[in-house]
Amino acid sequence: MAEVGITNVRIAEFAWSLMEPREGTFDFQWLKRAVDVLHRHGIAVILGTPSAAPPPWLSAKYPEILLVNENGVTLTPGTRRFTCPTNPTYRRLANAVATEMAKAFSSVPGIVGWQIDNELTLGSASRCYCRFCREGFQQWLKAKYGSLEALNREWGTAFWSNVYTDFSQVPVPLPSGAPPNPGFALDYDRYQSAANVSFMKEQLKLLRQLCPSHFVTTNNVGGFIDTVDMRDLYRDLDFVASDNYPGVFEVFASGDPNFSITPEASGAMVSFAHDFMRSVKDGKPFLIMEEQSGKAGQPTFSAQPEPGQLRLWSYQAIAHGAMGINYFRWDSARSGAEEYWHGMLNHDRTKSPGFDEIQQTIRELKSLGEKALNASYTSELALLYDYNSDWALAIQPGQPKLKYVSEIMTWYGCMAASHAGIDVVDGKQDLSAYKVLCAPLMYIVAPEQARRIRAFVEAGGVFITGIRVGVKDEASRIVETALPGLLSEVMGVEVIDYQPLYSAKQGVQFAGVLAGPNAECSLWADILNPGNGTEVLATYTVDHAGKAAITSHSLGKGKAIYIGSHLEPATLGRVLVTLLAANGIRQSVSVPSGVEMTVRHDRSQRWTYLLNHTSKAVDVPLKNTYRDLLSSKSVSSSVRLEPYGVKVLADS
Ligand SMILES: [Zn+2]
């Protein structure tokens, strides 16, 4: 490990049964020996607290800790992540083992930090519906609403005779005779997120007390698993830690005949995950706690990464703001559910196919140096992702094929073609750093978001949104004014009708800056009535023919653009790239398709990353002369990227 250049490892995150073989009996000697061996070889250690995998004695003695899933089924123990985040016994025992662990390792040389639990967002359900969570939910509601009158009013419980007369009557959204009250179901999603954050914070508190010199974080996959609000989760942690398995997307996609994933599409999904995780702590460099090191999976394998891909994926993380990479894993396990998850060593402890490539990557990243790895990442373009809209639309999609995360991903893929860099914001922060803010499916608009967006536009920003914007308030009630509700004045339009589309076709004809071939509109159409001075950039051609489909409204120094029709991805891409270019977001280099470009910088230096996600060599034209930091050669006019190749260029 030391010879390969590895400088730190994360260990012990699932080792509860070895640390506490019987309740209250702790054994850390084996772990201390491992830490000591690593330390003597110059390898620092991040310790994982083991709460994601309670031992059999615990679940046998305290079966009430088991998670009840959304169908009311109590999970069976014997795997991982089968626990209720609220249950006081589980919390007490998770805190006890973490406390003993922290005491045992607080002054052990070589320990640098902690990972609390492991992937809190993952699991068969990710949300628990047990009796402890129900009681916890009722307490949370009392604190939120103060009175039953307020709760009944906000949820509109008079409908279907749901008026509650005691908090103890409030259920959890398990299967019933019909879909749940939307406000109730949304509050339950918020409560489950808060329960997971609160579970994590109990361990954070004890680690801060017992190990004040160590950093503390927790690891999650970014963006796609959306059950816990990541901004809440990481608020008091030192930095974000992310797990990155690009090859696994193909495995998930293989079960869907309508979904083919090209390396380019996969590249955009991975970039979204990195941008999402970087943005959780407003741009602070993040750590890849687990990076794919070979074939990966539990019951199935992902494809063997092509030569160059492991290196490319590592650089992709760095290019989007990571400060370091830990590979998962060193050894491949010969037993247990993750036998198929290949490490840097094969099962027979020979070098894996990716071993030399990872070693090369480690050597190169060290040569780039700390300044490059801790450099800033700033962008002029932002994508608004909000858990309220995500969770509320999952409860009531309107059209069953409308999916928030899919829509976010589609918009991200279109925006990424500008190579301008994309931050992922929730609209509750200062937006003045951005030129353009895109907000697809912003179903719920909070008053603070409406204020921030208005100020952003008035100050010169361009706000681009789409169908179903401003439909609901934070209680998940439909707004009482014309749509788009709180954003009506900013958008300069009124939605005069909205149409869920199934077999009926709707068409769109473009005008002005968007002039181009007619397009199909699927799934949804908002029919817009532009106010005075609002420019029409597209109209419908079938139903409501001639009525506005896309509008642009000038307000103050900026603009608000409403894309009221759900366009096919290729058309949406053309529309968004055109709008971005027309509003100051242009790529500084003409980057070929399948190649990604990002820039990190500090006060005096810029690092330009070029990433080839394709299996073919490509030449990227350059406008300036650069120094190729990995070859120390000067490059100008163009640079060649090998298949899955990477270049890191410094301004010269
Ligand atoms: Zn529970």
Tens digits of residue pLDDT in 178-208: 999 999 999 999 999 999 999 999 999 999 9
Ranges of each domain in the chain: 8-124+185-373, 381-582, 595-651
Residues comprising the chain, all counted? 652
| Averaged pLDDT for residues 108-135 | 92
> CA dihedral defined by 282, 283, 286, 288, rounded to 10 degrees?
110
Cis omega (within 30 of 0) on the bond before 586? Answer: no
Distance 88 CA to ligand 1 centre (A): 10
pLDDT band at 10 (very low <50, low <70, confident <90, very high): very high
pLDDT band at 257 (very low <50, low <70, confident <90, very high): low
Q: Any idea what DSSP says for residue 609?
A: E
SS3 159: helix
CATH 1.10.940.10 fits 595-651, yes or no: no
Ion ligand 1 neighbours, Cβ < 5 Å: 84, 86, 128, 130, 132-133
Distance 76 CA to ligand 1 centre (A): 14
Give the model's pLDDT for residue 253: 72
Q: Does the pLDDT at position 588 exceed 90?
A: no
Distance 147 CA to ligand 1 centre (A): 24
Distance 472 CA to ligand 1 centre (A): 29
CB-based contact 174:133 (threshold 8 Å): no
Give the model's pLDDT for residue 589: 73
Percent over 90 (pLDDT), the chain: 92
pLDDT band at 432 (very low <50, low <70, confident <90, very high): very high
pLDDT per residue as tens digits for the range 389-431: 999 999 999 999 999 999 999 999 999 988 999 999 999 999 9
**C-beta neighbour count of 174 within 10 angstroms:** 14
pTM over 0.85: yes
Superfamily of domain covering 8-124+185-373? Glycosidases (3.20.20.80)
pLDDT band at 248 (very low <50, low <70, confident <90, very high): confident
CB-based contact 213:112 (threshold 8 Å): no
Distance 195 CA to ligand 1 centre (A): 9
**Ranges 359-373, 387-401, 585-599, 609-623: which has the least confidence:** 585-599
User: Considering only the top CATH level, what class is 381-582?
Assistant: alpha beta
pLDDT per residue as tens digits for the range 304-347: 999 999 999 999 999 999 999 999 999 999 999 999 999 999 99
Please write down the HEC assignment for all residues of 467-514: CCCCCECCCCCECCCCCCHHHHHHHCEEEEEEEECCCCCEEEEECHHH
- Cα atoms in the 13 Å half-sphere on the side-chain side of 121: 20
pLDDT band at 53 (very low <50, low <70, confident <90, very high): very high
Please give the full DSSP string across 243-274, using - where no structure is assigned. EE-TTHHHHHHTT-TT----HHHHHHHHHHHH
CA distance 484 to 173: 29
328 φ, ψ to 5°?
-110, 100
Please give the full DSSP string across 181-224, using - where no structure is assigned. PHHHHHHHHHHHHHHHHHHHHHHHHHHHHH-TTSEEE-EE--SS
Q: Does the pLDDT at position 611 exceed 80?
A: yes
Distance 127 CA to ligand 1 centre (A): 8
Q: Does the pLDDT at position 587 exceed 80?
A: no
Q: Does the pLDDT at position 261 exceed 80?
A: no
Give the model's pLDDT for residue 381: 97
Distance 192 CA to ligand 1 centre (A): 9
Distance 392 CA to ligand 1 centre (A): 21
| Averaged pLDDT for residues 503-507 | 92
Which residues belong to the active site? 119, 290
Higher pLDDT, residue 313 or 251:
313
pLDDT band at 256 (very low <50, low <70, confident <90, very high): low
Mean pLDDT (the chain, rounded): 96
